[in-house]
Chain A
Amino acid sequence: MIRYLVLVFSVFAFTLAVHAVAVDEKPLADPVQEARARALMKEFRCLVCQNQSIEDSNAELAQDLRMIVRERIALGDSSDNVRAYMVDRYGDWVLLRPPLKSSTYFLWGSPFLVVLIILLVVMRKRRSAAAVPQPLSDDETARLAQLLEDDT
């Protein structure tokens, strides 16, 4: 029961595992490699604590995966290789940045697509609105009548 009672209304992410402080004792000696490893860790979704990266989580599996990321970087793997390593085991699910492929074209295109659609609608509306002649107001009608009368 408690497992389901975890949270409520709030806007924020929490799990029971979140609250330990994720600190690894052995960062990579080379600061450039360590920075690359840290950047990569932020891209992988933690498997046991939803919607967090493995960089943020102190879950044991996240620790293990951080260790693996560091090992692979130290072995000279490229960032793409490390990504492939993770996807081989856990699928695209593990990538916080969805890869560009046929199933995600719509997703990545959506910002452009939606703007385009709304723009088109607005322009069409504008044109049709402009095309409709505005009826004369009462004042204008009166004035027109006056002018016509004056003319004759």
Chain B
Amino acid sequence: MQRFVPLIVVAVLVMLFLGMMLSDRNPNEIDSVLIGRPAPEFSLPSLAEGAAPLTTADLKTGEPVLVNFFASWCVPCRAEHENLMILAGKYRVPVIGIAYKNEADKARGFLTELGNPFSKTGLDLDGRVGIDWGVSGVPETFLIDGEGVIRYRHWGPIVGSSLEERLLPQLEALQ
């Protein structure tokens, strides 16, 4: 029996590798541990001058909202911006934007240049809120249900097929 052990080990490894390669996982992606947990408490100044600060209460509106971490210095954020506009416009989803480690006027300039999909904004200058949300880089987008619980996290830019194949089905499930 022993003599078959090496063969079995090889077979198991090949299957493992094959499974890993055929699945559409991104080996760099770190799963969020916040799924199913209430969004972390925070209070951030708004990018819009004179507007009320953005707080956790803004996430508990009874309807699903998206929270998008972005920055003007982030190239992939530019790539996904069009899809955020579509989400806010065509699908009428409230999108909240949090400028991550970005100076206020630069973040504002970014929105003036590309259009503003955000119903509310917050400014996370030192990145502490980002860390509380387990953000490892921008962009990252969180889907929050009406009670303020995080239901889904989209890692990296929402580009290509990921809007229709990943984000929208999650959103529909909540609506």
| A residues whose Cβ falls under 8 Å from a Cβ of B | 47-48, 50, 60-61, 64-65, 68, 87-91, 93, 121
Contact = CB atoms under 8 A, between A and B. Distances in A.
A88 B33 contact: yes
Contacts of B133: 89
A50 B127 CA distance: 20
Main secondary structure of the interface of A (DSSP, over half): helix
Contact of B31 (A60, A61, A89, A93): A93
Interface string B129-156: 0011110110000000000000000000
A48 B132 contact: no
A48 B101 contact: no
B101 A121 contact: no
A68 B126 CA distance: 11
B136 A90 contact: yes
User: How extensive is the interface on chain B, given as a class?
Assistant: 10 to 19
Interface in B21-80: 28, 30-34
A112 to B, nearest CB: 18
B136 A47 contact: yes
B2 interface: yes
A65 B131 contact: yes
B132 A89 contact: yes
15 contacts: A48-B136, A50-B28, A60-B101, A61-B131, A64-B126, A64-B127, A87-B33, A88-B33, A89-B34, A89-B131, A89-B132, A90-B134, A90-B136, A91-B134, A93-B31
Contacts of B28: 50
Interface string B94-138: 000000010000000000000000000000001110011110110
Contacts of B136: 47-48, 61, 90
B33 A91 contact: yes
A48 B135 CA distance: 10
Contacts of A65: 131
Given A61-B131, A87-B33, A89-B132, 12 more contacts: A47-B136, A47-B137, A48-B136, A50-B28, A60-B127, A61-B127, A64-B128, A65-B131, A89-B133, A91-B30, A91-B33, A121-B2
